[in-house]
A and B are shown apart, each in its own frame.
With several copies, the nearest count.
Chain A
Amino acid sequence: MAEFLSLHDAVARYVEDGATVAMEGFTHLIPFAAGHEVIRQKKRDLTLIRMTPDLIYDQLIGAGCAKKVIFSWGGNPGVGSLHRLRDAVEKGWPRRIEILEHSHAAMACAFEAGAAGLPLAVLRGYVGSELPNVNDQIKFIECPFTGERLAAVPAVRPDVSIVHAQKADRKGNVLVEGIVGVQKEAVLAAARSIVTVEEIVEDMTAEPDYHPNACIIPGWAIDAIAVAEKGALPSYAHGYYPRNNRFYKEWDAIARDRDAFTAWIEENVMNAGGNA
């Protein structure tokens, strides 16, 4: 049952050192505010799962929170590399991290399987790719009906998933709208979940834009809800604010340099209280 907590308390209670954490949001609704709180609380040895690690994981990796990253596309979309991810992988700064990489199709299916309570996802995937050579979590099974060889990957089952959404109501029901990504799957697949939202409304079903098939996650399937206004910036929230594309471009220069990065984190995360 969703409990309304401050972002500080939600992260303090549910994100433990060494935990497997999925922060999702496919380009849209990326939980930056929550990620910054994880950095401020100096969480360590996290296994970070995310289809598209972008700036938020670059920041967590550069800040030394991660020991392992499971992903399928790690870049600054439309801009270039994640320099902190590369520095960690290529040079081991601030620590060496392990990576386990998939394709998007496999990750998406693995989240789906996690939500569906299955141990594995089966897909027609990885044909001819060399990813199975470097990821021992990719296996192949034979269809008992057709004999076709299909790929299998383990379901994603994080200790805690963190997502950002447009709004929650007083009962803790959460609306995700627009590009919904794998957020619902991430929440349902996880043992615990934190959802940050732009605002709290009285009753979701009484909202003027209520729709009978809207993507609503019921409050009883969520552990903690925290209000984090503009909590997805520099990513965006459909219906609330646009993506700060300029910051995404600026990040390239900040992240290229260890000192510039460290200064940025100090100023904009560590010393920003709960406001970053």
Chain B
Amino acid sequence: MSIEYTSSEMMTVTAARALENGMTCFVGIGLPSEAANLARLTHAPDVVLIYESGTLQTKPDVLPLSIGDGELAESALTTVAVPEMFRYWLQGGKISVGFLGTAQIDRYANLNTTLIGDYHDPKVRLPGGGGAPEIATNAGEVFITLKHSKRAFVKDVDFVTTLGFGRDGKGRDGVPNIGKGPTRVITDLCVMKPDPETKELTVVSLHPGVSREDVIEATGWEIRFAGELESTPEPSAKELDILRELKARTERQHAGE
């Protein structure tokens, strides 16, 4: 292929492709927001984007820096109070997919955004749970996107802020009214899915130019690979154009006061 792209762009495009037209997506800030808006601007014009700030069905022209930027309200179908957002729209079962980032993730796709170290004597204090704990259980399914590194992909998270499949992979078993949980994790190296039985995250697709060793080296546990390992399709020129324009627009806007 003659198209050049970065591993970040590969990640964002792959994450965007996970969203389908007509899905209602509860969007986390940062990488998920970038991917969700790329999806909306490319193959999924009718994907419904919902931000926890209460903005329903929003179509921002630039990426929001915060979860409640003015752009989100101005381009929304309507904006509701935050309690309503969490009660009627998320807990009420109207969200097909929650799209999350995280600081740490473990082999059972549990997410830690609370802290590194011990809770009462933290090495690093992280921002906390935010919307994630209930997005992860009340949305129909969950997509996760983050950069691959040994610091982020750990065998056991220091703290389960947000349920993937629990510390033993059985955290959702027998729980009533709970979503399917994480169905895919998209990184800058690969795509992972939970094993249908054990729920352990398994690499199902490697991005072009990425080797098994690259993934093994960037993962903090003995990562497994699917029997039939796929190669992630490359970004198209159109996807890259739209993504780059989106990011350039965003940068220009956020640089101003």
A: which residues have CB within 8 A of B? 1, 26-28, 51-52, 71-75, 77-79, 81-82, 85-86, 89-90, 101-106, 108-109, 111-112, 115-118, 123-131, 133-134, 146, 148, 173, 178-182, 184-185, 188-189, 204-205, 212-216, 218, 220-221, 236, 238, 242-249
Contacts and interface: CB of A to CB of B under 8 A. Distances in A.
A89 B128 contact: no
21 contacts: A28-B70, A52-B67, A71-B128, A73-B127, A73-B130, A77-B29, A89-B125, A90-B124, A102-B129, A104-B86, A116-B88, A128-B172, A178-B73, A179-B73, A182-B83, A218-B48, A238-B70, A243-B65, A245-B256, A246-B257, A249-B254
A216 B54 CA distance: 13
Main SS class of interface, A: loop
A28 B133 contact: no
A246 to B, nearest CB: 5
B79 A180 contact: yes
Given A131-B133, A213-B79, A27 B68 contact: yes
A49 to B, nearest CB: 14
Contact of A181 (B53, B74, B138, B177): B53
A158 B193 CA distance: 36
A115 B52 contact: no
Contacts of A117: 87-88, 91-93, 138, 177
Given A78-B66, A218-B48, A86 B114 contact: no
B78 interface: yes
B72 A179 contact: yes
A16 B122 CA distance: 31
Given A28-B73, A105-B86, A123-B91, 13 more contacts: A52-B67, A72-B130, A73-B127, A112-B83, A116-B92, A123-B134, A128-B163, A128-B175, A182-B83, A212-B73, A212-B78, A238-B70, A245-B254
Contacts of A178: 70, 73-74, 79
B129 A101 contact: yes
Nearest to B65: A78
A218 B172 contact: no
The 5 A-B pairs with the shortest beta carbon distances in the complex, nearest first, are A27-B68, A128-B163, A77-B66, A75-B127, A73-B130
Interface in B240-257: 253-257
B81 A180 contact: yes
Contact of A104 (B124, B134, B172, B178): B134
Contacts of A238: 70, 73-74
Contacts of B256: 245-246
Contacts of A118: 91
B130 A103 contact: yes
